[in-house]
Amino acid sequence: MAATPRGRQLTEAHRQQQLDARDNFLAEFLALWALLDTDNLDETGPGWVRAVTALIKSYRQLSAEITTAYYWAFRAAELGETGPRIPDLSVPGQAGTVGAPVEDVTSRPPMAPPPAAPRTGRPPRNAQTRRIERDARRTRRDAARELERFVDDSGIRWDFDESVFERRGRDRSTRIEIPEIDWEERDRAMEISLNIVGPVGQKSKIKRGKTPQEARDASFVESSGVATRHVLTGGRKSLLTLLQRDDRAQRWIRVTDGDPCAFCAMLASRGPVYLSEDSAGFKAHDHCACTAEPVYHSNAPWPGRADEFRKLWDQYIKGRYSGQAAIRAWEKLYRDLQKQRRSEVA
């Protein structure tokens, strides 16, 4: 809930930057997909999972950096404070500031940077910062080595470019300190999910009567959804972690695109009811592109179509249904309205 024009622009810029990170990840994920051989799933599956896992970790860090930059810029804008100069992490090799006033905030590519605020200096490179930077370098090296070893073992001809996993010449002076998060449990869940929707899922689909190509196509959609969800978790969990330590932040609110699914629209309709990761983690489905916006002013307007969704819920669902019946009624209402809206646009 942004009370300032710049805050609203920063929120939209942040959402677009996360989409850019997701799209860049998918381009590289597509290259790795060629290494999962449907005719040799037992042989190529484990190496594919390891390579994709390493790639996800690299982009998850990028998602966390984008969100951390957004958080500090948004906080400064909303509280009227002078914040540090923040790099635009959405554009490889380009240093600037996140967000900018432009005419059409829904257009892409990401917004051009506004004039930089007075610089307050780099955050001190304490032990945590150095450890995060060291872990990031190790992750990128491991990703490159894992993929290179897998390609050699598979016997598949592949033009491998290690620069895929480099930070693309990003200036060290633009580094920012992201919150330290223990990803161990999520990493285990990520590997299990990739196995289930990747090699295991393809074999299961073929056994149920799908052709190898049908199984492979369905598996690609499922795998890319799982992978992008784990990539964007970097930004989502980082923001909620930062908010837990912020005594000025009241809550956070969900930010959707202009045409979200029924599930995301329902969560956005609840408004600024979310307080922390502990009270309500960020619920995201595969292929979800939603982000979160901090709340510093209780009377600020809701982002996107959230207020529209709230009015729909209050008018047609609230007081009439409860529990699962309310969810089912909302899904039917929303999808009917969504279909009508799309037909009017067509």
Q: pLDDT means per 10 residues in the chain (346 residues)?
A: 90 95 95 94 95 96 95 93 52 36 33 33 43 52 50 42 43 62 94 96 96 96 96 95 88 91 95 66 91 92 94 96 95 94 81
- Find all residues with CB under 8 Å of 313, minimum gap 6, and list them: 266, 269, 330
Report pLDDT for 273: 81
What is d(CA 209, CA 242) in angstroms, rounded to the nearest whole number? 48
**274 by DSSP, 3-state: which?**
strand
Nearest to 43 by CA among 225, 203, 157: 203
Q: Where are the domains of the chain?
A: 5-244, 251-345
Report pLDDT for 4: 94
Given CA atoms 196, 200, 205, 207 in this order, what sign does their dihedral have? negative
Report pLDDT for 176: 63
Q: Where are the alpha helices (DSSP H) in 155-273?
A: 184-197, 199-207, 212-244, 262-269
Q: Where are the beta strands (DSSP E) in the chain?
A: 251-255, 291-295
For residue 83, the 8-state DSSP code is: P
Report pLDDT for 341: 86
Report pLDDT for 127: 53
| Amino acid in position 286 | D
Report pLDDT for 167: 43
- Copy the structure tokens of residue 286: 């595969």
Report pLDDT for 326: 96
